[in-house]
Amino acid sequence: MFINSVQLFGRLGQDPEAIWSDSGLRTKGSLAVTIDKTTTDWYALTAFGKTAEILANFVRKGEQVAIEGRIALSSWVDGAGNPRSKAEIVVESISLVAGNPKTLPTGSKSPTPVRQTVPATSISDDEADQIPF
């Protein structure tokens, strides 16, 4: 059995970009994950369906999120004939996190999760309209 799964916790590096097509909504963004005080890794994000709606409508640059998804690899040949490749995280669920470390009360060591994970396929349209965030 093979498993392609990733979990990341970080801050959005840009406001998510919503892209509409015949196949539905796709949202692109980036996630900065701090490894230590001097190293930050950046990941390209793509979400589809309800997860894309949540990402596009309720999350902004700099906000902390925890994501679960899978790694998608793509390769192509550019206009000059050079082979290119790219890895991105396809977001399958996202958890919003309250608080910004700069604004946490004194004595707080980490942000507090305020929302449970919202899987892309587990809520109906009526339920999505009732999500408080």
pLDDT per position as a tens digit, 50-103: 999 988 888 899 999 999 999 999 999 999 999 999 999 999 999 888 654 443
CA distance 70 to 90: 5
Which residue is listed with tokens 């892209």? 19
Three-state DSSP state, 50: helix
- Tokens coding 79: 């206009």
pLDDT tens digits, 104-115 = 344 444 444 344
**114-118 long-range Cβ contacts below 8 angstroms, 24+ apart:** 117/66, 117/68, 117/93, 118/50, 118/51, 118/54, 118/93, 118/94
How many whole angstroms separate alpha carbon 29 and alpha carbon 1? 30
**Where residue 48 falls among pLDDT bands split at 50, 70, 90?**
very high
The model carries a pTM of 0.67
